[in-house]
Amino acid sequence: MKPETNSGEKGDAFFVNLHWTRRDTKRAVWIVLVAFAVLLLFFAMKNWAKTVALAKTVAELFRPFTIGFVMAYLLNAPMMFFEKHVFGFVERKKPRPGLRRSLAIFLTWILTAAVLTFFSWIVIPQVVVSVEMFISRVPGYYNSLLTAAQSLLDKYHLDFEVVEEFLQTTITTEGLVKKLTEYASSLLPQLANLSVQVGGGILDVAVGIIISVYLMFSKETLISQLKKAIYAFIRRGAADKLVSVARESHRVFSGFINGKIIDSAIIGLLCYILMSLFHMDYALLISFIVGVTNIIPFFGPFFGAIPSALILLMADPIESFWFIILILVLQQFDGNILGPKILGDSTGLPALWVLFAILIGGGLFGILGMVIGVPAFAVFYSLLRECFNVRLTKKGLPTSTNSYLVIKGKKDQADIETNPSGPDPRD
């Protein structure tokens, strides 16, 4: 009996000495979760085709909610404006819960429907007509090019036959028409597929509109519920940080996206007005291209101006030249006056990092990546800057970038340690 007793006492002493704490429990839970995530990733990579199919199915199921969320997010700014400045008089004398918000949502959607109807019935058909007109005039532009080249070569006593042979073998009227026909034929299956998708997406859009109305009306309640869930499962400090990051992300994204849309619409409208005043060809088509491409930061003006200038070049080289001058003036106005007024410092990114975000975002996700890459990187840049500042503060070092400048090799570590920290626009 004695050995059994000693064995039991030793076993009890072993478990007592483990000192299992709450921290150990958290570690064990995290180990289990990480192991489960690794196994899930392994099986997902092993069955990649099934994983992609499952992801597409899930995305299709949540498509109405995605559409509704995007609509609500884009229309939140005008709704808040109408609620505050247009219907601010409502509920002042007699409390009527939700009346002001309902009126603001109704007016927002009425104006949105009006804008979409304007584009669908007026702008888009005119753009299509301009495209068809341009295609029909391509043979004439080609013949004009041949005539101009011949007169230029005759003026300088050069041999036109070599140039003519080159043009006829490389660029011919029949070849241009054939290539345009082939391109149109290749687009037919895509357009048919697109029509099926649009037909199937009408219901998703309709449901998305209903969801967006609910999200816009009850956004404060939904945000409160989400914050409640965050604080319920995450410790207070981490929850505060997560809420702060979400608030900053919303500020950057909403300010940038909404500002860019307004800025691009104004630039497109100004381009149309000025081109119409100077009686330039394809004013609506080119203004539409300029306005849409202007949404893309930094490279947008080039994406819009280059093809537009080439279109006008075939019609009239002099007109193309004046269009380039017009675009340069518009971009100077946008970059120095209009853009700063609308966008302000919504991202806080230096020009180098804006270019970096555009290139990386565009390389990964195309045009959409170029648009959202800037605000996404701005949020990451802000978090990284805050992390650096916290670590520097703990070490008793200044957080200002100016404190770390080396001028003519005369600054040293002593200067860094004694230079007071302060706000720096480059931080």
Listing DSSP states for 207-274 in one string gives HHHHHHHHHHHTHHHHHHHHHHHHHHHS-HHHHHHHHHHHHHHHHHHHHHHHHHHHHHHHHHHHHHHH
Average pLDDT of the segment spanning 111-116: 89
Measured CA to CA, the distance from residue 74 to residue 254 in angstroms comes to 8
The tokens of 177 are what?
């028409």
Judge whether residue 227 has pLDDT over 80.
Answer: yes
Q: Report the candidate in 133, 135, 143 with the shortest Cα–Cα distance to residue 283.
A: 133
More confident residue, 52 or 419: 52
1: pLDDT confidence band, cut at 50, 70 and 90?
Answer: very low
E strand or H helix at 170? helix 160-170
For residue 159, give the DSSP letter: -
* Angle between helix 236-277 and helix 63-81 axes, rounded to 10 deg: 70
Measured CA to CA, the distance from residue 267 to residue 313 in angstroms comes to 22
Q: Report the candidate in 112, 111, 82 with the shortest Cα–Cα distance to residue 99.
A: 82
The tokens of 124 are what?
């888009």
More confident residue, 20 or 317: 317
Listing DSSP states for 289-358 in one string gives HHHHHTTSTTTHHHHHHHHHHHHHHHH-HHHHHHHHHHHHHHHHHIIIIIHHHHHTTSS---HHHHHHHH
More confident residue, 286 or 131: 286
Terminal-residue alpha carbon distance, the chain? 74
What confidence tens digit (pLDDT) does each residue in 246-262 have? Answer: 888 888 888 888 888 88
The answer to whether residues 71 and 214 touch, using CB atoms and an 8 Å cutoff, is no
What confidence tens digit (pLDDT) does each residue in 322-335 have? Answer: 988 998 998 888 87
Measured CA to CA, the distance from residue 156 to residue 167 in angstroms comes to 19
Give the model's pLDDT for residue 2: 47
Measured CA to CA, the distance from residue 247 to residue 176 in angstroms comes to 53
Average pLDDT, the chain: 77
More confident residue, 411 or 65: 65
Count the Cβ atoms, other than its own, within 10 Å of residue 184.
11
Measured CA to CA, the distance from residue 230 to residue 236 in angstroms comes to 9
Taking the whole predicted model, whether its pTM rises above 0.75 is answered as: no
Per cent of the chain over pLDDT 90 is 11
The answer to whether residues 403 and 416 touch, using CB atoms and an 8 Å cutoff, is yes
Give the model's pLDDT for residue 383: 84
Q: Which amino acid is at 11?
A: G
Average pLDDT of the segment spanning 85-106: 79
* Angle between helix 173-217 and helix 219-233 axes, rounded to 10 deg: 80
Over the range 85-118, which residues count as b (16 or more CB within 10 Å of their CB) and which as e? eebeebeeeeeeeeebbbebbebbbeeeeeeeee
